[in-house]
């Protein structure tokens, strides 16, 4: 990938001419200002390859990442999105402990092999185990049971809980005793674990070391899903667990937050600020790179090419571009800064050509067609807030208002978010107890139902766009994309016009 990028740097790309002309006129553009030029194509949309990266070492099966916002990404959405091939970034408005637990829940959702299974003690009452399970919002019911020496003596499964009428009983009175185990020395793979479970007709297979300590656990449904390929489109790490990212800030306590997250195997840390090209961000980035060599650090947000270059030189593994394009953002209006998003993506990605650091285009996407535009301009992925906040899996209840269903969606720089969370105040560099200067609003978005069909529409639009352009993969889209500038009449022509729509399709809303 890095070599291809170097070649691009030397050659110049078709879109360079378009953007150079815009620059000469001192015009900066955003999504509604442009459309991709279609080109000769012998591709069917279904054939295009959507594999890409969020950061140097964190791949995506589809180029969609969910925003680190308290009305967008918690564990439920992160699980659903990773199962569709994308990535969720769990927001940092949570306590460090809760954020790390959410990472654990994503990681434990689907397992080839659970490396550190959650165990219970023989003497734990069932009611206490159930209470802890609820508190920590675990969805599974399988727990290895340990004696006072930490050795495995039994297993609690969903059956044991279902048939237990008296929850005051202790784990050892309810558990299945002396479960069949395998030794860590056997070196099982997911396939051999599956074969063994089929042979033994066992749904749970603990792995123990030579001292009888539990060092792993296979769950049949997960192992089967992996072996039979039903996880084919999932975004999985090398252990077979769903990938997940988490946002952190720049305060001293964020180092501890980062440590907790890394201990729980988070795939990527995102230094999540409104101004990525700033002193606290550089010190946090340098410190994290010094401590964690093997965890990718994505940094944001910036919108100027020099800022992207400085972050690259400081060691960022991915850069988020977008200052003020977001649906709930008022930064551009309140602070008077920012660059329209398509020009920002283009210029920042141009500044990074020749490196292997990808750009994520964060915020401002309104329609599925904005995704191929962002990628064509140079992004490797898009981060979405409003386009995902209305899904069933996003945090928050459905709101009933004027006969329609909605979900709440608020900027992390809104008054409400800043009042509720120190992390939000820090994101916008505001001190507690001082007058808050919001850079976002609190809003609501029409409820869209489950995530999967919503993402299917976004991906369908992207595939169609790549088919029109003739790009077989995202690398090629970035290389051959070229743009036309729209006028107001062009935008009006692009939308539904001169008719009264009687039925809204799933992927288009009346303006
Ligand atoms: P969309 O357009 O997808 O934007 O809803 C989501 C992105 O907006 C950023 N964000 C904010 N920007 N004030 C801002 O200026 C805010 O209060 C705010 N909250 C979120 C963030 O980058 C997110 O991914």
Q: What is the pLDDT of residues 137-185, one digit of tens each?
A: 777 889 999 999 999 999 999 999 999 999 999 999 999 998 999 998 8
Domain with residues 120-228, CATH architecture: Roll (3.10)
| Residue 376 neighbours by CB under 8 Å, 6+ apart | 15, 36, 465, 469, 477, 478, 481, 483
> Residue 278 in 3-state DSSP?
coil
Q: CA–CA distance from 491 to each of 174, 215, 324, 325, 357 (Å)?
A: 66, 59, 22, 18, 33
Determine the pLDDT at residue 7.
53
Best CA proximity match to 13, nearest among 398, 402, 377? 377
What is the rounded distance in angstroms from the CA atom of residue 250 to the CA atom of residue 271? 7
Q: What does the mean pLDDT of the chain come to?
A: 93
What is the rounded distance in angstroms from the CA atom of residue 255 to the CA atom of residue 433? 24
Tokens of 338: 């920012």
> Residue 65 in 3-state DSSP?
strand
Please state, for a pLDDT cut of 70, what percent of the chain lies above it.
97
Average pLDDT on 110-135 reads 87
Which pLDDT band holds residue 375 (cuts at 50, 70, 90)? very high
Which pLDDT band holds residue 431 (cuts at 50, 70, 90)? confident
341 lines ligand 1 (CB under 6 A): no
To test ligand 1's pocket by mutation, which of 30, 67, 388 has the most ligand atoms within 8 angstroms of CB?
Answer: 67
Say if residues 368 and 460 touch (Cβ distance below 8 Å): yes
Most confident region among 105-109, 132-136, 445-449 by mean pLDDT = 445-449
Average pLDDT on 368-373 reads 98
What is the Å distance from ligand 1's center to 96 Cα? 22
208 pLDDT above the threshold of 80: yes
Ligand 1, atom nearest to 330 Cα: 15
Regarding beta strands 182-183 and 120-121, do their DSSP bridges make them parallel or antiparallel, or are they unpaired? unpaired
pTM as predicted = 0.85
For 329, other C-beta atoms within 10 Å of its C-beta total 24
What is the rounded distance in angstroms from the CA atom of residue 319 to the CA atom of residue 299? 5
385 lines ligand 1 (CB under 6 A): yes
What is the rounded distance in angstroms from the CA atom of residue 57 to the CA atom of residue 99? 22
Tokens of 417: 């978010």
Report the sign of the C-alpha dihedral through residues 15, 18, 24, 25, in that order: negative
Which has more confidence, 8 or 263?
Answer: 263
276, 282, 284, 288 alpha-carbon torsion, rounded to 10°? 110
Which pLDDT band holds residue 239 (cuts at 50, 70, 90)? confident
112 pLDDT above the threshold of 80: no
What is the rounded distance in angstroms from the CA atom of residue 180 to the CA atom of residue 197? 10
Best CA proximity match to 33, nearest among 345, 319, 274, 300? 345
Residue 268 phi/psi, 5° resolution?
A: -155, 140
What 3 state SS string does 6-55 have?
Answer: HHHHHHCCHHHHHHHHHHHCCCCCCHHHEEECCCCCCCCHHHCECCEEEE
Determine the pLDDT at residue 365.
98
Tokens of 184: 């860590």
Q: Is 427 a catalytic residue?
A: yes
Please name the residue that has the structure tokens 């170097």.
6
Q: Is 119 a catalytic residue?
A: no
Residue nearest ligand 1's atom 14 by CA = 329
- List the domain boundaries for the chain: 2-109+235-494, 120-228
What is the rounded distance in angstroms from the CA atom of residue 403 to the CA atom of residue 463? 35
Say if residues 300 and 271 touch (Cβ distance below 8 Å): yes
Fold of 2-109+235-494: TIM Barrel (3.20.20)
Average pLDDT on 226-238 reads 88
Classify residue 247 as exposed, middle or buried by CB count within 10 Å of its CB (0-12, 13-18, 19+).
Answer: buried
Please name the residue that has the structure tokens 């009428």.
165
What is the rounded distance in angstroms from the CA atom of residue 479 to the CA atom of residue 247? 31
Separate counts of helices (H) and strands (E) for the chain: 21, 22
Best CA proximity match to 5, nearest among 378, 472, 466, 321? 378
Determine the pLDDT at residue 347.
98
What is the Å distance from ligand 1's center to 320 Cα? 12
To test ligand 1's pocket by mutation, which of 69, 276, 341 has the most ligand atoms within 8 angstroms of CB?
Answer: 69
Catalytic residue among 56, 243, 257, 427: 427
Determine the pLDDT at residue 147.
94
Domains 2-109+235-494 and 120-228 share a fold: no
Which has more confidence, 470 or 133?
Answer: 470
Which pLDDT band holds residue 421 (cuts at 50, 70, 90)? confident
Catalytic residue among 164, 329, 339, 360: 329
């Amino acid at each position: 990938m890095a070599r291809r990028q170097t070649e691009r740097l030397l050659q110049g790309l078709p879109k360079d001419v378009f953007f150079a002309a815009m620059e000469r006129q001192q015009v900066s553009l955003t999504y509604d200002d442009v459309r991709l030029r279609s080109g000769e194509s012998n591709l069917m949309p279904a054939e295009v390859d959507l594999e890409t990266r969020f950061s140097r070492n964190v791949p995506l099966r589809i180029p969609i990442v969910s925003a680190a916002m308290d009305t967008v990404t918690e564990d439920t959405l992160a699980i659903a999105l990773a199962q569709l091939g994308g990535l969720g970034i769990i927001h940092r408005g949570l306590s460090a402990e809760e954020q790390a637990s959410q990472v654990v829940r994503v990681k434990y959702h689907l397992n080839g092999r659970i490396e550190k299974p959650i165990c219970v003690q023989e003497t734990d009452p069932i009611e206490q185990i159930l209470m802890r399970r609820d508190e920590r919002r675990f969805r599974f019911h399988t727990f290895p049971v340990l004696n006072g020496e930490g050795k495995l003596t039994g297993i609690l499964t969903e059956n044991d809980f279902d048939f237990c009428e008296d929850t005051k009983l202790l784990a050892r009175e309810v558990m299945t005793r002396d479960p069949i185990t395998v030794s860590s020395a056997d070196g099982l793979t997911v396939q051999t674990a599956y074969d063994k479970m089929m042979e033994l007709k066992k749904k749970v297979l603990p792995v123990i070391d030579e001292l009888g300590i539990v060092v792993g656990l296979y769950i049949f449904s997960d192992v089967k899903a992996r072996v039979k390929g039903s996880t084919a489109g999932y975004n999985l790490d090398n252990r077979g667990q769903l990938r997940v990212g988490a946002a952190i800030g720049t305060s001293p306590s964020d180092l501890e937050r980062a440590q907790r997250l890394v201990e729980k195997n988070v795939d990527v840390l995102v230094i999540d600020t409104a101004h990525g090209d700033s002193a606290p961000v550089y010190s946090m980035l340098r410190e994290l790179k010094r401590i964690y060599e093997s965890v990718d650090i994505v940094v944001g947000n910036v919108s100027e090419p020099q800022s992207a270059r400085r972050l690259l030189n400081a060691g960022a593994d991915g850069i988020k571009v977008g200052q003020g394009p977001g649906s709930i953002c008022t930064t551009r209006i309140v602070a008077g800064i920012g660059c329209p998003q398509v020009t920002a993506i283009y210029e920042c990605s141009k500044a990074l050509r020749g490196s292997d650091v990808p750009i994520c285009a964060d915020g401002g996407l309104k329609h599925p067609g904005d995704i191929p535009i962002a990628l064509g301009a140079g992004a490797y992925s898009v981060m979405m807030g409003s386009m995902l906040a209305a899904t069933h899996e996003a945090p928050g209840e459905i709101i009933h208002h004027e006969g329609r269903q909605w979900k709440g969606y608020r900027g992390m720089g809104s008054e409400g978010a800043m009042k509720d969370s120190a992390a939000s105040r820090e994101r916008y560099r505001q001190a507690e107890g001082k007058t808050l200067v919001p850079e976002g609003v609190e809003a609501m978005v029409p409820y869209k139902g489950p995530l999967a069909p919503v993402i299917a529409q976004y991906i369908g639009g992207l595939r169609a766009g790549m088919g029109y352009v003739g790009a077989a993969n995202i690398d090629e889209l970035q290389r051959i994309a070229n743009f036309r500038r729209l006028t107001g009449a062009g935008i009006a022509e692009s939308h539904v016009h001169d008719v009264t729509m009687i039925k809204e399709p799933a992927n288009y809303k009346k303006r």
